[in-house]
Amino acid sequence: MSHDLRFALRRLSRTPGFTAAAVLCLGLGIGANTAIFTVINAVLLRPLPYDEPERLVGVWEANRIRGSERNVISPANYLDWTAGSTVFGGMAAVHDISASLTGGGEPEEVPVQRATASLFQVLGLRPALGRTLSVEDDMPGGAEVAVLSHGLWERRYDADPGIVGKPIHLDGSTVTVVGVMPPETESIGREPRPDIWIPMRLDPAEDYRETSGRILQAVARLGPGVTIARAQAEMATMAARLAAEHPNYNTHWSVNLVPLSEQTIGQVRRPLELLGGVVLLVLLIACGNVANLQLAQATARRREIAVHAALGASRLDLGRRLLAESVLVAAAGGALGVLLAWWCTDALATLASTSVPRMNEVSVDAGALAFTLVISLAAGIGFGLVPALHASRGDLHGDLKDGGRGYSSRGGRTRGILVGAQVASSLVLLVGAGLLLKSFARLNDVNLGFNPDKVLTARVTLGGERYEDEARQVGFFEELLDRVENLPGVRAVGAINWLPLSGLRSATRMTIEGEPPTRPGEEPAADVRAVDPGFFAALEIPVIRGRTIEPGDRAGVPRSVVVNQSFVARYLVGRDPLGRRIHMEWGDTLVGTVVGVVGDIKHTGVDSAASPTVYWALPQFPHNFMTLVIRTADDPTRLANGVVAQVRALDADQPVSDLKSYDEWLGGAVARRRFSLLLLGGFAALALALTSIGLYGITAYGVVQRVREFGIRLALGASQRDVLWEVLRQAMVVVGAGIAAGLLGAVALSRLVSSLLFEVSPTDPAVFVTIAVLLLAVGTIAGLIPARRATRVDPMVAIRSE
DSSP 297-339: HHHHTHHHHHHHHHTT--HHHHHHHHHHHHHHHHHHHHHHHHH
Contact between 666 and 606 (Cβ < 8 Å): yes
Give the separation between CA 115 and CA 199, rounded to whole angstroms.
5
Q: What phi and psi values does residue 111 have, to the nearest 5 degrees? A: -70, 125
Contact between 551 and 535 (Cβ < 8 Å): no
Contact between 680 and 436 (Cβ < 8 Å): yes
Strands 173-180 and 145-148 turn out to be parallel
Q: What phi and psi values does residue 555 have, to the nearest 5 degrees? A: -65, 145
Give the separation between CA 705 and CA 410, rounded to whole angstroms.
11
Give the separation between CA 307 and CA 373, rounded to whole angstroms.
34
Containing 58, the helix (H) or strand (E) segment is: strand 56-63
List of residues 6+ apart from 598 with CB closer than 8 A: 536, 541, 542, 543, 544, 548, 562, 563, 564, 565, 615
Contact between 81 and 216 (Cβ < 8 Å): no
Residues of 646-682 as b/e, b for ≥16 C-beta within 10 angstroms? bbeeebebbbbbbbbbbeebbebbbbbbbbbbbbbbe
Q: Could you list the mean pLDDT of each consecutive 10-residue stretch along the chain, which spans 802 residues? A: 70 75 85 87 87 95 89 95 94 94 87 96 96 95 94 94 94 94 90 91 90 92 95 96 92 95 87 86 83 68 59 60 78 88 82 76 80 82 67 52 47 73 88 89 90 96 88 96 96 96 89 89 92 97 96 94 96 94 86 97 90 96 95 94 95 93 90 84 85 75 67 73 78 87 86 83 91 88 76 64 51
- Give the burial class of 6: count Cβ atoms within 10 A of its Cβ; 0-12 exposed, 13-18 middle, 19 or more buried: exposed
- Is the Cα dihedral 43, 49, 54, 55 positive or negative? negative
Note the pLDDT of residue 589: 81
Query: DSSP letter string over 705-748?
Result: HTHHHHHHHHHTT--HHHHHHHHHHHHHHHHHHHHHHHHHHHHH
Contact between 627 and 109 (Cβ < 8 Å): no
Give the separation between CA 75 and CA 83, rounded to whole angstroms.
12
How many residues in the chain? 802
> Three-state SS for 753?
helix
Contact between 724 and 787 (Cβ < 8 Å): yes
Radius of gyration of the chain (CA): 34
> Three-state SS for 439?
helix
Distance of CA 501 to the CA centre of its chain: 16
Kindly report each contact of residues 742-745 with a partner whose C-beta sits within 8 Å and lies 24 or more positions away, as own/partner: 742/423, 742/424, 742/425, 742/426, 742/427, 742/428, 742/431, 742/772, 742/775, 743/427, 743/768, 743/772, 745/424, 745/425, 745/427, 745/428
> Three-state SS for 62?
strand
Note the pLDDT of residue 407: 42
Cis peptide before 192 (omega within 30 of 0): yes
List of residues 6+ apart from 712 with CB closer than 8 A: 795, 798, 799
Note the pLDDT of residue 287: 81
Q: What phi and psi values does residue 394 have, to the nearest 5 degrees? A: -65, 160
Note the pLDDT of residue 315: 59
671-705 vs 260-300: helix crossing angle, rounded to 10: 10
Nearest Cα neighbor of 677 from 491, 483, 476, 440 is 440
Task: Tell me the CA distances in angstroms from 756 to 239, 280, 429, 752, 762, one per residue in order.
Answer: 34, 20, 15, 9, 10
Query: DSSP letter string over 473-498?
Result: HHHHHHHHHHHHHTSTTEEEEEEESS
Note the pLDDT of residue 706: 66
Note the pLDDT of residue 14: 73
